[in-house]
Amino acid sequence: MSGAKCLIGNWRFKSADEQYWLPAAVPGCVHTDLLTNERIAHPFYGTNEGDLQWIDKKDWEYSSVFDVPDDILTSSNVNLVFAGLDTYADVYLNEEKILSADNMFRAWRADVKRLLKAEGNTLRVYFRSPIQEDLPKLERLGYALPATNDQSERGGLGDNKLSVFARKAPYHYGWDWGPRFVTSGIWRDVWLEGWSRARIADVFIHQKEVTATAAKLTAAVEIESEGSWDGAIHLVTEGVDVIWMVKLEAGVNQIDVDVVVENPRLWWSRGLGEQYLYTFTATLVQGDAAVAQKSVRTGLRSVRLVRDEDAQGTSFYFELNGVPVFAKGANHIPNDSFLTDVSYERYKHEIVTAVESNMNMLRVWGGGFYENDDFYNLCDEYGLLVWQDFMFACSMYPGDEEFLKNVRMEAEENVTRLRNHPSIVLWCGNNEMDTAWSQYDEEGGWGWKQQYAPEIREKIWRDYEAIFHETLPQVVESFAPGADYWPSSPMQALTRDKDQHARNDSSVGDIHYWGVWHAVEPFSNYNVYLGRFMSEYGFQSFPELKTVQSYATDADMALESDVMRWHQRSGDGNRLIKEYMDIYFKQPKDFPSFLYMSQVLQAEAIKMAMEAHRRKKPYCMGTLYWQINDCWPVASWSSMDYYGRWKALQYYAKKSFRDVAVSIGGADGALEIHVISDVLEETKGNVHLQLFDFKGLLLKELTYTVQVKANTAQVVLSLPVDDLVATHNPNDVVLLVTLEQDGEVIDAKEHYFVPANQIALPLPSITAKPVEGGDGSSFVVETNVLAKSVWITSEFEGVFSDNHFDLIPGVPKTLQFLQRKPGEDAFSPAEPGPITIRSMAEFIVQ
């Protein structure tokens, strides 16, 4: 069978204006290679970022000398393949130019058969500065395009926003949570690929109709052939073994093979069933000889975005295998400013974190990049649905013919690459651009369109429509038939009038609600602004002290120090955290305490939002907070910091996203107990209410039998607050609400009757004892008085089964430590070693 492949290594690099070469890593980038060769200080430390802005103004060269294995050299066709070039690059093989690249998101392939020799081939890649490349484009256009998060001033470019001209990860130019590192380099693998007679370029499993009884599929097999000949495609998977006769012509052939998988094992998102994956193998044969072969993996499922009119507006939810799915999760940004530093283990840590946090969806946000295969493979395996943005965010883009052609090719390649992943359930055109421009609402938007004369305004909008209302939906329809496309997030509907643009009080489309945070609205507004699908909302916090110490000295430990302001990219971020903290919490006693308190503040805010959204099921059918991860160590909206350390919010998400959860709400003097179910069977059990004072004295106890239908949310109790608290001081009592089923505690939540800054917190004595007869990973914690926001840390990297919880005297909690061990399962039970246990009382001014 023909087909051979070999990676090209042995790389070196240099600045184009220097003579001496240095060792380089491929995949990699200039910044990481400079760091490895000790030519720059660590980009993330202190304010070093500011000193490294010279890098993107230079041209850089990469070079390799390599030999060619005989099986490739003797192939009748040999391609040189670059899976990723960042971004403007000219490639020379044995001093002959073979290609020019201008898009980070595309792969590049060249026929190099005639240029190769057995030994001593020289491959050289010349990267042109993206800054020098794109400055002339801005000048030719004659006006600046909006690019709110492009930190051009940090790059020494003044107001020259260049990110919109490059098909390159937008966040490289800075964002309100990320630094400005405009990279260059070979960021994905490079290889030689040899083949003779024919090769199978692609296999797409088009799922036309999938039910529990039969999956009707078409395997679309793309074959590149040297000549015309008769043969057959042998397609095999579980329950399928078919041979399809074919007549091939020279060039590219598209062969469709129709198959049916009887009684398929369906692919489900986490919490609803198994994530079964089928491997389809297509073999091209002539006579008894196999000429070429390719295998792909997919899960069989039916999925659609349901947007049906109802009594309250228009629905917006995902239906998987006929089941309405409430989407629980977060927005995902790139895991690093330097993409090649993200290992498989880091991807797995993020995905397992999401799964352990009871999530079922991640949104791949449009200001990063189309993720690596590892990311989507893990989502397939663990059952995380993926909302996939195209790579456009918070900017307006040019619409010249060359740019549109580049975008179309980028979209075709990436849709083709990713379309077999069962996890991907939506393709979205862009992030926040429809609402930012608000073409049909003169008073709406971010003030962008008002900066332009009428004819330029119209041109910018026509260019927008050419990309997001024409090119991208055409590509999705052609290359992933049946997949849903949504033009922009947030948006109400494609109406081409004022009703197109998102509103915080909309009953149509999806919503990004940022009144809490940017507008300093109260947390309680999360209960007011509830849409059909909440695809963004968020609140910031700092990472923990250990992470802050990775980029700052003791002298920097102050909210307004240069380093703290540098590692806060949201202009008013530090002030907003403090302003909200002054509203809701008592004063932290020092800066390390402020770091801790900021995490609890963030967690309490987002808990209110997550649970408000879930309580409104089925009116609201999705809640994706901003954001799960970070690309560098920073104060941000993340629930897990750059090093993968869970913040308080990650633990809160785990509890608030439980598949069957109890939630406490209410107003006007009444307390409402909700039970929320995302499972497909009825929930029967007991709701147990216990009122304690802060010393653990049980003041009142009530038990109610509840019955909640499958996949729904229900108010199971409504009780007057005055009856619950009675004669007790509301400042000194806590209500514990427990949901029990078959003698097992399914969920438990605490409720306080006054704001946190009015609660008197005594200093507790907390003990931890190992579970007798256990493996050393589990222990029981108890307290003598109420311990609020208990934070447990270990000297080892890992997570606890619960953390940042309230501990009531007489209500012990059993915990397990799960260590993070690179190369092993993402979390493994282990002895935590010496642990430190603290609670809020230790961090506040008493």
**Token duo for residue 326:** 């409430």
CA dist 545 and 843 (Å) reads 13
Q: For 554-574, give the DSSP string.
A: GGG-STTSHHHHHTB-STTHH
CB atoms within 10 A of CB 347: 21
Are the C-beta atoms of residues 480 and 415 closer than 8 Å to each other?
yes
Beta strand 485-486 with 744-752 is unpaired
Residue among 61, 432, 544, 782 flagged as catalytic: 432
First and final CA of the chain: distance in angstroms? Answer: 76
CA dist 742 and 252 (Å) reads 61
Which are the contacts of 326, defined by CB distance < 8 A and separation ≥ 6? 317, 614, 617, 618, 621, 622, 623, 678, 711
20 DSSP β-pair partners: none
Burial zone of 834 (CB within 10 Å; 0-12 exposed, 13-18 middle, 19+ buried): exposed
Please list, residue by residue across 245-275, b when 16 or more beta carbons sit within 10 angstroms of its beta carbon and e when fewer do.
ebebeeeebebebebebeebbbbbbbbbbeb
CA dist 369 and 429 (Å) reads 13
Are the C-beta atoms of residues 178 and 634 closer than 8 Å to each other?
yes
Nearest to 173 by CA among 165, 182, 164: 182
CA dist 751 and 743 (Å) reads 22
Burial zone of 354 (CB within 10 Å; 0-12 exposed, 13-18 middle, 19+ buried): buried
CA dist 839 and 837 (Å) reads 7
**Token duo for residue 280:** 């389809």
- 432 given a catalytic annotation: yes
**Token duo for residue 9:** 């290594």
Are the C-beta atoms of residues 64 and 130 closer than 8 Å to each other?
no
**Token duo for residue 276:** 């079964």
Query: H or E segment at 411?
Result: helix 401-418
CA dist 803 and 818 (Å) reads 12
**Token duo for residue 579:** 């302003």
CA dist 578 and 370 (Å) reads 36
Phi-psi domain of 105 (left: phi exceeds 0; alpha: psi -120 through 50; beta: other): alpha
Residues with a known catalytic role: 432
